[in-house]
């Protein structure tokens, strides 16, 4: 399976289009939308909708850049393997391990959150018990078979989607027809009252960018599924096109409905925006319903994190950029060693939750955001390098070309650099800019100390990716 001149991925292509669409949708619609959106509203006010919209356009280009290359080269390591081939082995190494780290720290926050949500119903049970049980359950799901993971993620994501759609429909009925308000239409006036559409100026809209970008984290999971997708040349473009528009629809419309129903400056003080909306309708169990949904959102994110980290370690191992043990598949064609390795780190996260202040997890998520920005920038650079090597005839034959090339790539990279600069001016996110050089320094040193620099031939790297396509 693994040799010095190429590899063949032996993962089971058990993921159907419906799985991939909901995996990407579920990865990007997480706990942040249900609970964290209140903080972003306080920062930007109603103009938050514009922030989501413009960030969504950039994410569209990132997804299309990912899609162009992934459709031509559908491997499980996706952008790590592509970075190795088109930007060099060192970049592939840095990107793969950074993506692994990004998901591990994100899952640490999500898995510990499970304990908090279960505590709502069972206050006498220590919070670490449900957190541990959830971790064990998600790990087991990922170890059984990729199709089982796909099914779990499909239903987890569906719960979130149904809740958001229900909230939007109910909210619009309140706004337009006065449902739950004695038939008096609430209207949209809250969007421009209470300080206007830009109550905190353009600076508030800009400062919300970091929180908004974090909410899009996980959308790149489409690329990670490529190595296990049935008919990737068909399913990947379809999933990318549909997922993007749905996510943009959910975020922008959900924010618009919530801030029409309630003054933006009251939302953060009254609790979850989603709970408020259902309460306004007179649903007594609203808090319990949303708590259940948020619980599934946390499990969904953790589930996707375990999946993606296992696949990334698998592909890094095949590239010769991680211990060989991670390239071993179970009898069910699952990278079990990589999954268990990631799960061990998540156990550390469960323990840390009770040893350090809650503020640390704010810092952790900001670090995860920086990791995502790095990965997204690499995806754009891969596409630019990939396209530059193609002849006019090859460009014409691309199955899923990046629109508005090359300007879309340059603009998107500039936008990500701008977000990174914005991170410096926020006290909570600035820590990520201090941690990032340390992380990359550790990776850079380990690259040479562990001997991962010995197979540094770009032609070999390309051969490795191309050889994986022989199984298609």
Secondary structure string (H, E, C) spanning 339-350: HHHHHHHHHHHH
Bin 201: left if φ > 0, else alpha if -120 < ψ < 50, else beta. Answer: left
Q: What is the pLDDT of residue 4?
A: 34
Whether the Cβ atoms of residue 45 and residue 199 lie closer than 8 Å to each other: yes
Residuewise pLDDT in 10s, the chain (472 residues) = 333 334 455 565 667 777 777 777 776 676 666 666 777 888 888 999 999 899 989 998 998 999 899 888 877 667 888 998 899 999 999 999 999 988 888 888 777 778 777 877 888 887 778 888 888 988 998 888 777 878 888 888 888 888 888 888 888 998 998 887 778 888 888 888 888 899 999 999 998 888 888 778 877 877 777 666 677 777 788 878 877 787 778 888 888 888 898 888 887 666 666 777 777 777 767 778 878 888 888 888 888 888 888 888 888 888 888 888 988 888 878 888 999 999 998 887 777 666 655 555 566 667 777 888 999 999 999 999 999 999 999 999 998 999 999 999 999 999 999 999 998 888 878 888 888 898 899 999 999 888 887 754 444 444 445 444 444 4
Tokens of 61: 């280009």
Give the C-alpha separation, 279 to 287, whole Å: 8
Asked if residue 293 belongs to a domain, the reply is yes
* C-alpha separations of 161 from 85, 98, 168, 247 in Å: 37, 29, 11, 10
Give the C-alpha separation, 63 to 59, whole Å: 6
Asked if residue 353 belongs to a domain, the reply is yes
Whether the Cβ atoms of residue 402 and residue 409 lie closer than 8 Å to each other: yes
Asked if residue 37 belongs to a domain, the reply is yes
- The SS3 assignment for 3 reads strand
Closest CA to 236 of 383, 65, 97: 65
- Count CB-CB contacts under 10 A for residue 422: 17
Q: What is the pLDDT of residue 462?
A: 46
Whether the Cβ atoms of residue 141 and residue 353 lie closer than 8 Å to each other: no
- The SS3 assignment for 229 reads strand
Residues 6+ apart with CB under 8 A from 146: 11, 12, 14, 15, 228, 307, 333, 334
Give the C-alpha separation, 119 to 126, whole Å: 8
Q: What is the pLDDT of residue 265?
A: 83
- DSSP of 266-328, one letter per residue? HHHHHS-HHHHHHHHTT-TTHHHHHHHHHHHHHHHHHHHHHHHHHHHHHHHHHTTSS-GGGG-
Tokens of 95: 């990107």
Element containing residue 2 per DSSP (H, E): strand 2-3
Asked if residue 150 belongs to a domain, the reply is yes
Tokens of 380: 């754009």
Q: What is the pLDDT of residue 171?
A: 87
Give the C-alpha separation, 197 to 334, whole Å: 50
Burial per residue of 2-28, b for 16 or more beta-carbon CB atoms within 10 angstroms, e otherwise: eeeebbebebebbbbbebbbbbbbbbb
Give the C-alpha separation, 261 to 13, whole Å: 45
Give the C-alpha separation, 92 to 440, whole Å: 13
Asked if residue 298 belongs to a domain, the reply is yes
Total-model pTM: 0.86
Domain that holds residue 432: 14-453
As for how many domains the chain has, the answer is 1
The DSSP call for residue 15 is: B
CATH number for the domain including 224?
Answer: 1.20.1740.10
Tokens of 469: 């396509």
Give the C-alpha separation, 171 to 101, whole Å: 38
Q: What is the pLDDT of residue 14?
A: 63
**Torsion sign, CA atoms 55, 56, 61, 63:** positive
Asked if residue 208 belongs to a domain, the reply is yes
Burial class of residue 358 (count of CB atoms within 10 Å of its CB; 0-12, 13-18, 19+)? exposed
Give the C-alpha separation, 210 to 420, whole Å: 8
Residues 6+ apart with CB under 8 A from 335: 11, 310, 311, 313, 314, 326, 327, 328, 329
Give the C-alpha separation, 109 to 126, whole Å: 17
The DSSP call for residue 430 is: H
Length of the chain: 472
Q: What is the pLDDT of residue 375?
A: 93
Chain centroid to CA 396 = 31
Q: What is the pLDDT of residue 214?
A: 79
- DSSP strands (E only) in 15-128: none
Give the C-alpha separation, 78 to 316, whole Å: 10
* C-alpha separations of 337 from 260, 301, 331 in Å: 49, 20, 12
Asked if residue 1 belongs to a domain, the reply is no
Asked if residue 364 belongs to a domain, the reply is yes
Pairing state of beta strands 2-3 and 6-7? antiparallel
Chain centroid to CA 171 = 27
């Amino acid at each position: 399976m693994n040799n010095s001149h190429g590899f063949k991925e032996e993962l089971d292509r058990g993921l159907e289009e419906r799985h991939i669409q909901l995996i990407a949708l579920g990865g990007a619609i997480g706990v942040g939308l249900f609970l964290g959106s209140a903080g972003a509203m306080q920062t930007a006010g109603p103009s938050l909708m514009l922030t989501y919209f413009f960030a969504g356009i950039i994410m569209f280009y990132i997804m299309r850049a990912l899609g162009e290359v992934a459709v031509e080269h559908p491997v499980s390591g996706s952008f790590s393997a592509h970075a190795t081939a088109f930007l060099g082995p060192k970049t592939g190494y840095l990107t793969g391990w950074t993506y692994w780290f990004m998901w591990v720290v994100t899952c640490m926050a999500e898995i510990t959150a499970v304990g908090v949500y279960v505590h709502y119903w069972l206050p006498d049970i220590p919070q670490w018990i449900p957190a541990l049980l959830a971790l064990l359950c998600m790990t087991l799901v990922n170890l059984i078979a990729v199709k089982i993971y796909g099914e779990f993620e499909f239903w987890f994501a569906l719960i979130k989607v149904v809740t958001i759609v229900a909230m939007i429909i109910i909210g619009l009925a309140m706004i337009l027809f006065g449902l739950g308000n004695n038939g008096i239409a609430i209207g949209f006036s809250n969007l421009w009252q209470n300080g206007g559409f830009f109550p905190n100026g353009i600076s508030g809209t800009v400062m919300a960018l970091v929180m908004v970008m974090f909410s899009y984290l996980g959308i790149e999971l489409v690329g990670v599924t490529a190595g296990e997708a049935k008919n990737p040349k068909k399913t990947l473009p379809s999933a990318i096109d549909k997922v993007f528009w749905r996510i943009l629809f959910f975020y922008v419309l959900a924010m618009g409905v919530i801030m029409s129903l309630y003054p933006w400056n009251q939302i953060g003080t009254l609790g979850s925006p989603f709970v408020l909306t259902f309460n306004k309708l007179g649903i007594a169990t609203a808090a319990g319903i949303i708590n259940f949904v948020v619980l599934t959102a946390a499990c969904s994110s953790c589930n996707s994190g375990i999946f993606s980290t296992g696949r990334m370690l698998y592909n890094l191992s095949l590239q010769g950029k991680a211990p060989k043990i991670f390239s071993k598949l179970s009898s069910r064609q699952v990278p079990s060693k990589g999954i268990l390795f990631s799960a061990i780190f998540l156990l550390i996260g469960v323990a840390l939750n009770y040893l350090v202040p809650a503020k640390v997890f704010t810092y952790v998520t900001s670090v995860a955001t920086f990791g995502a920005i790095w990965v997204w920038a690499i995806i754009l650079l891969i596409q630019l390098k990939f396209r530059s090597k193609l002849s006019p005839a090859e460009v014409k034959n691309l199955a899923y070309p990046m629109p508005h090339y090359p300007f879309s790539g340059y603009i998107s990279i500039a936008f990500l650099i701008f977000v990174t600069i914005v991170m410096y001016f926020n006290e909570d996110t600035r820590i990520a800019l201090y941690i990032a050089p340390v992380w990359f320094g550790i990776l850079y040193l380990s690259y040479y100390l562990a001997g991962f620099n010995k197979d540094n031939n770009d032609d070999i790297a390309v051969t490795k990716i191309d050889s994986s396509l022989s199984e298609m």
